[in-house]
């Protein structure tokens, strides 16, 4: 894979004011009465430039604001970027992650070669330094990312690498930060990998080429195995849901199975986990075709599966002492002479029959086979991730993913992981009332419910394929894409889910 923007990230023991860099990045809180230690030292060396800027009121430290100053040979740095952090008591890891991302995004836009981050100095002892190091590393990857794989102009001056340093003069702090940076770099890299695969269009990534990408990824990891169910194997296994959705495309469907077997034996009470991700490489709706407006965005309907793929990469690189499987059912949903149709009755892997009333409700058709497979293979915790319903977008917008579960402990763990990772979720129901709507008169289930509560009825459908297994569902429709881009992110795939799932798994190991 062509590396789009390479990021190198390291900690360095140095006084921020002394650090030679293209841009030194410092935080400032909107409620700060005076400059904090780092800014004060810079201000002194720059002859009061920071204080004058604040006094003029041009920069107040509010979230989403920044101010740029020049070093003018008086400090090591060529430039100083002040990043607004908002109210000090409201700072979380995500504030720092986003601030680092903002700085990295700006640096790439300005074609700088290196930046030095001292953002953690504005937080105080409330948040652990390792966590701040992790957040800055993740943010540096996140903000510097942009997708230009298919831009052929060779001379547009895009830079190949960004060197990021996290600077602190105190040895103990450097050590603590560094612990977090190592983990954050793994997660950040995995998330950028996810964004690139997801951003690739459907004429490049289809189920077979996605399976190949998964194989390539797994080949680079000692702890990962990758097996792929092709059409023949799917037929032999009677995975009728995946086969039905894939029937309309010349690119045949696949089920990708990744298994992480850690070097260190997992703790005996650690659950065997399966992550299941929807990878519809293009969702035209099929015979129940979608309107053409924004249909191009349906290349991102593989985002859940790719979040699982990239999480498996991070799990392997961290060599987490857990048994984790990644199951990625993949199909292309197209209308053709061979497509599945409204009215069809499909026998799924579980044996349950489904009356298809809308071919655009295809995500649940492929997920149900993978969920039943995971449950049958005695996985103890199953989490699925899918761009499943427009209804979830209507309910939550593009700030939080829907979270449904049959287990309060798993729900709580995912809510906590969401807070820590900055990939937010909101709990929604999926119980019996909703399942009732999914009953068919001529089959066991139908694939759509009534007009309302579509995210919940979809989850209630999925829930019926895991039996008694502890299960959660993340509906990430609307979370998969940045429509426009913003101060810290390029437009396109968000890589949502990689940080959330990795954090959940890391917490299982650390049990704190």
| Inter-residue contact 388 to 456 (CB < 8 Å) | no
Give min distance, CB of 381 to ligand BES, in A: 25
- The reply to whether 205 sits near ligand BES by the rule CB under 6 A is no
Figure out which of the listed residues 283, 317, 369, 423 binds ligand BES, where binding follows CB under 6 A: 283
Give the binding range for Zn ion (CB under 5 A) out of 66-74, 81-89, 295-303, 406-414. 295-303
Q: How far apart are the first and last CA of the chain?
A: 37
Q: Hey, what are 164's tokens?
A: 């990021």
- The reply to whether 355 sits near ligand BES by the rule CB under 6 A is no
Give the binding range for Zn ion (CB under 5 A) out of 43-51, 60-68, 136-144, 355-363. 355-363
Left if phi > 0, otherwise alpha if psi is -120 to 50, otherwise beta: which for 228? beta
- Binding-residue pattern over the window 232 to 271 for Zn ion, x denoting contact by CB under 5 A: ----------------------------------------
Q: Tell me the site size for ligand BES, rule CB under 6 A.
A: 16
Q: What is the DSSP string of 397-442?
A: TTT-EEEEES-HHHHHHHHHHHHHHT--EEE---SHHHHHTTB-SS
| Distance in angstroms (rounded) separating the CA atoms of residues 58 and 39 | 16
Figure out which of the listed residues 94, 165, 252, 283 binds Zn ion, where binding follows CB under 5 A: 283
| Distance in angstroms (rounded) separating the CA atoms of residues 7 and 115 | 11
Q: Which does 391 bind (CB under 5 to 8 A by kind): Zn ion, ligand BES, none?
A: ligand BES
Q: Which does 117 bind (CB under 5 to 8 A by kind): Zn ion, ligand BES, none?
A: none
- The reply to whether 360 sits near ligand BES by the rule CB under 6 A is yes
| Distance in angstroms (rounded) separating the CA atoms of residues 366 and 228 | 15
Q: Which does 384 bind (CB under 5 to 8 A by kind): ligand BES, Zn ion, none?
A: none
Q: Tell me the site size for Zn ion, rule CB under 5 A.
A: 6
Query: Cβ closer to ligand BES: 271 or 426?
Result: 426
What does the DSSP 8-state code read for residue 236? H
| Distance in angstroms (rounded) separating the CA atoms of residues 93 and 421 | 8
Is-catalytic flag, 134?
A: no
| Inter-residue contact 435 to 372 (CB < 8 Å) | no
| Distance in angstroms (rounded) separating the CA atoms of residues 500 and 421 | 6
Instruction: Give the burial class of 327: count Cβ atoms within 10 A of its Cβ; 0-12 exposed, 13-18 middle, 19 or more buried.
Output: buried
Rg (C-alpha) for the chain, rounded Å, is: 24
Q: Which does 168 bind (CB under 5 to 8 A by kind): Zn ion, ligand BES, none?
A: none
Tell how strand 425-427 and strand 445-446 pair up.
unpaired
The torsion angle over the Cα atoms of residues 362, 366, 367 and 371, rounded to 10 degrees, is: 150
Query: Cβ closer to Zn ion: 477 or 489?
Result: 477
Output the residue with the shortest Cβ distance to ligand BES: 390
- H or E stretch including 53? helix 49-56
| Distance in angstroms (rounded) separating the CA atoms of residues 473 and 460 | 10
Residues 6+ apart with CB under 8 A from 485: 491, 492
Figure out which of the listed residues 362, 369, 384, 420 binds ligand BES, where binding follows CB under 6 A: 362
Closest CA to 477 of 401, 369, 423: 401
- The reply to whether 342 sits near ligand BES by the rule CB under 6 A is no
Give min distance, CB of 491 to ligand BES, in A: 15
Instruction: Give the burial class of 1: count Cβ atoms within 10 A of its Cβ; 0-12 exposed, 13-18 middle, 19 or more buried.
Output: exposed
Give the binding range for Zn ion (CB under 5 A) out of 41-49, 356-364, 465-473, 476-484. 356-364
Q: Which of residues 390-409 bind ligand BES (CB under 6 A)?
A: 390-391, 393
Query: Cβ closer to ligand BES: 302 or 499?
Result: 302
- The reply to whether 301 sits near Zn ion by the rule CB under 5 A is yes
Is-catalytic flag, 290?
A: yes
Instruction: State how far the alpha carbon of 425 is from the alpha carbons of 195, 386, 469, 476, 494, in Å.
Output: 20, 13, 21, 9, 15
- The reply to whether 284 sits near ligand BES by the rule CB under 6 A is no
- CB atoms inside a 10 Å sphere around CB 344: 17
Give the binding range for ligand BES (CB under 6 A) out of 59-67, 372-380, 389-397, 430-438. 389-397
| Distance in angstroms (rounded) separating the CA atoms of residues 136 and 156 | 28
- The reply to whether 360 sits near Zn ion by the rule CB under 5 A is yes
- The reply to whether 389 sits near ligand BES by the rule CB under 6 A is yes
- The reply to whether 332 sits near Zn ion by the rule CB under 5 A is no
- The reply to whether 363 sits near ligand BES by the rule CB under 6 A is yes
- The reply to whether 329 sits near ligand BES by the rule CB under 6 A is no
Residues 6+ apart with CB under 8 A from 183: 134, 137, 318, 506
Give min distance, CB of 425 to Zn ion, in A: 20
- The reply to whether 361 sits near ligand BES by the rule CB under 6 A is yes
- The reply to whether 275 sits near ligand BES by the rule CB under 6 A is no
Q: Which does 209 bind (CB under 5 to 8 A by kind): Zn ion, ligand BES, none?
A: none
Q: Which of residues 445-464 bind ligand BES (CB under 6 A)?
A: 448, 454
Q: Which of residues 299-318 bind ligand BES (CB under 6 A)?
A: 301
Tokens 């919940």, residue? 456
Give min distance, CB of 392 to Zn ion, in A: 12
Interface residues with Zn ion (CB under 5 A) are 280, 283, 301, 360, 362-363
Q: Which residues are catalytic?
A: 290, 364
Interface residues with ligand BES (CB under 6 A) are 283, 301, 358, 360-363, 387-391, 393, 448, 454, 477
């Amino acid at each position: 894979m062509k590396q789009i923007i390479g990021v190198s990230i390291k900690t360095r023991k140095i006084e921020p004011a002394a650090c030679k860099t293209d841009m030194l990045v410092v935080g400032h809180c909107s409620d700060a009465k005076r400059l904090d230690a780092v800014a004060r030292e810079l201000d002194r060396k720059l002859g009061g430039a920071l204080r004058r800027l604040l006094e003029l009121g041009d920069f107040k430290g509010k979230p989403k604001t920044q101010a740029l100053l020049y070093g003018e040979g008086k400090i090591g740095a060529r430039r100083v970027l002040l990043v607004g952090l908002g109210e000090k008591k409201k700072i979380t890891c995500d504030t720092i992650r986003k601030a680092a991302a903002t700085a990295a995004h700006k640096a790439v836009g300005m074609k700088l070669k290196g930046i030095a981050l001292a953002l953690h100095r504005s937080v105080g002892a409330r948040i652990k330094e390792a966590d701040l190091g992790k957040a800055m590393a993740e943010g540096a990857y996140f903000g510097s990312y942009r997708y230009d794989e298919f831009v052929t102009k060779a001379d547009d001056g895009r830079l190949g690498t960004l060197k990021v340093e996290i600077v602190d003069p105190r040895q103990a702090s450097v050590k603590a930060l560094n612990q977090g940076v190592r983990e954050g770099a793994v997660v950040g890299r995995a998330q950028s990998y996810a964004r690139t695969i997801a951003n690739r269009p459907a004429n490049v990534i289809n189920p077979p080429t996605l399976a190949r990408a998964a194989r390539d990824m797994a080949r680079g990891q000692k702890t990962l195995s990758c097996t792929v169910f092709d059409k023949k194997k799917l037929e032999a296994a009677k995975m009728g849901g995946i086969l039905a959705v894939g029937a309309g495309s010349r690119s045949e469907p696949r089920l990708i199975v990744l298994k992480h077997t850690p070097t260190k034996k997992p703790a005996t009470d650690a659950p065997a986990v399966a992550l299941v991700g929807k990878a519809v490489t293009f969702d035209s709706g099929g015979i129940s075709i979608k309107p053409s407006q924004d249909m191009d965005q349906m290349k991102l309907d593989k985002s859940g599966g790719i979040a699982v793929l990239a999480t498996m990469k991070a799990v392997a690189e961290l060599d987490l002492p857990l048994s984790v499987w990644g199951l990625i059912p993949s199909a292309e949903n197209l209308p053709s002479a061979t497509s599945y149709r409204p009215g069809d009755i499909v026998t799924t892997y579980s044996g349950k029959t489904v009356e298809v009333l809308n071919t655009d409700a295809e995500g649940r058709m492929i997920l149900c086979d993978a969920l039943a497979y995971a449950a049958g293979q005695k996985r103890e915790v199953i989490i699925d991730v899918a761009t499943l319903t427009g209804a979830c977008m209507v309910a939550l917008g593009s700030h939080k993913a829907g979270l449904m579960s049959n287990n309060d402990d798993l729900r709580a763990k995912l809510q906590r992981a969401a807070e820590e990772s900055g990939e937010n979720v909101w709990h929604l129901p999926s119980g019996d009332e909703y399942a009732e709507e999914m009953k068919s008169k001529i089959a066991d289930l139908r694939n759509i419910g009534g007009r309302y509560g579509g995210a919940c009825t979809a989850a209630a459908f999925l829930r019926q394929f895991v039996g008694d297994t502890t299960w959660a569902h993340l509906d990430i429709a609307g979370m998969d894409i940045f429509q426009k881009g913003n101060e810290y992110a390029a437009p396109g795939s968000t890589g949502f889910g990689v940080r959330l799932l990795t954090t959940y798994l890391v917490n299982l190991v650390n049990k704190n």
